[in-house]
Amino acid sequence: MAAAPKVGFVSLGCPKALVDSEGILTRLRAEGYAISPTYDRADLVVVNTCGFIESAMQESLDAIGEALEENGRVIVTGCLGAKGDVVRRTHPKVLAVTGPHALEEVMTAVHEHLPKPHDPFADLVPPQGIKLTPRHYAYLKISEGCNHRCTFCIIPSLRGDLASRPIGEVMREAENLVKAGVKELLVISQDTSAYGVDLKYRTGFWGGRPLRARMGDLAKALGELGVWVRLHYVYPYPHVDEVIPLMADGKILPYIDVPFQHASRRILKLMKRPASGENNLGRIRAWRRICPDITIRSTFIAGFPGETEGEFRELLDFLEEAELDRVGCFAYSPVPGAKANELPGALPNEVREERRERLMRLQEKISAKRLKRHVGRTIKVLVDEVSAGGAVARSSADAPEIDGVVHIEEASKLKPGDWAQVMILSSDAHDLRARLVPGKSKRSVAARAS
């Protein structure tokens, strides 16, 4: 058996840096690397630095210099790495530099410069992990948990407070998915707009480039991967406006899934919804001014405890004004453990259901009107299924499983995961019918799509 590759390790700084070092060492050992006690027997050296005060910075720079002199192959991590380009200016020969608390970035650099020893079990798993979705689209989870306490929801008590994944880790997963053939990334979380709040928007690294853990920065970086990027569960905070120009410029899909849940201020307050004080109609109009083709999807709850007929009508008026493209609506249903169950004025089941039906009837007309504007247009679609009768595909306006589809006639030559250009022939309240645009080979279409 080949000898395990050896990594030397120098750990400087405070207890937080020590914990980071322990994390890196644990991972190195778990992946089969050996830890070398001397520079000369190591295949490369990781130096975890401190940048707290001048003397600590100097000590770190000296340690990097010593490792370069004794070994020559050095990866730098830790607080000094986060201080601009001071490491590279002093020691241009270092292999990679990351900031503190950057386990994934350090491991990526180690893998790049000292390949991981072969593990007959772990190596059976593809780099993008095991996916349950079709090969051409994948969900990209950017955080877990939620800091809000909506009264109808028990997710925070099940999954805890918001815990965002480091941006470098998210970007590497996205990159691996794209390398494995994924053409559409569906960004999910409980609250995508809050991404990075818990990390204090900490800077991470992707491809050696610093990136902040913020929704706008993440959307921009994902937009560079050349695939469809679709944002789900975005709450209408003012900073969401930053991603709309990315949609207008074609960097990410002009699609936003914003769970408004209601339109009445009083009900939204009772629900304790995030951004309940925002002027949502004003925001929607502003988004459409910047990106006229944006598809807006939302969900609502009808028959929340205490909802009056007047407040429900307010919601219907909102829908008529907002003309959202896609809407889902649930009749309020008490979840065991949810605070809303204690609110006075619970409505009978029939009233909740009747309101849900009224809402959906109204919305069907609105959705049908919105979809009709596509008739006669040529659009790009991503093919999901093919049968003898034709193909089922989706446009930028259709998220898998929850939105409508585009039925393409006579398209048996297409394969799932193909891009296609289609001319829209007709529409209903949910779906479009289309035919392939003649003379556009799949190859040329695919080239344009990437």
Of 21-29, 46-54, 146-154, 331-339, the segment contacting ligand SF4 by CB under 6 A is 146-154
Q: Does 234 bind ligand SF4 (CB under 6 A)?
A: no
For ligand SF4, the closer CB: 73 or 272: 272
Alpha-carbon distance of 139 to 16, in angstroms, equals 32
Q: Does 340 bind ligand SF4 (CB under 6 A)?
A: no
Q: Report, in Å, the least distance between residue 300 CB and ligand SF4.
A: 12
Q: Report, in Å, the least distance between residue 219 CB and ligand SF4.
A: 19
Q: Does 232 bind ligand SF4 (CB under 6 A)?
A: no
Of 88-96, 148-156, 294-302, 311-319, the segment contacting ligand SF4 by CB under 6 A is 148-156
Q: Report, in Å, the least distance between residue 235 CB and ligand SF4.
A: 7
User: Binding ligand SF4 by CB under 6 A: which of 25, 34, 56, 155?
Assistant: 155
Q: Does 150 bind ligand SF4 (CB under 6 A)?
A: yes
Q: Report, in Å, the least distance between residue 165 CB and ligand SF4.
A: 17
Q: Report, in Å, the least distance between residue 247 CB and ligand SF4.
A: 22
Q: Does 252 bind ligand SF4 (CB under 6 A)?
A: no
For ligand SF4, the closer CB: 173 or 191: 191
Q: Number of residues in contact with ligand SF4, rule: CB under 6 A? A: 10
User: Binding ligand SF4 by CB under 6 A: which of 190, 276, 295, 421?
Assistant: 190
Q: Does 274 bind ligand SF4 (CB under 6 A)?
A: yes
Q: Report, in Å, the least distance between residue 142 CB and ligand SF4.
A: 14
Q: Does 343 bind ligand SF4 (CB under 6 A)?
A: no
Chain positions contacting ligand SF4, by CB under 6 A? 146, 148-150, 153, 155-156, 190-191, 274
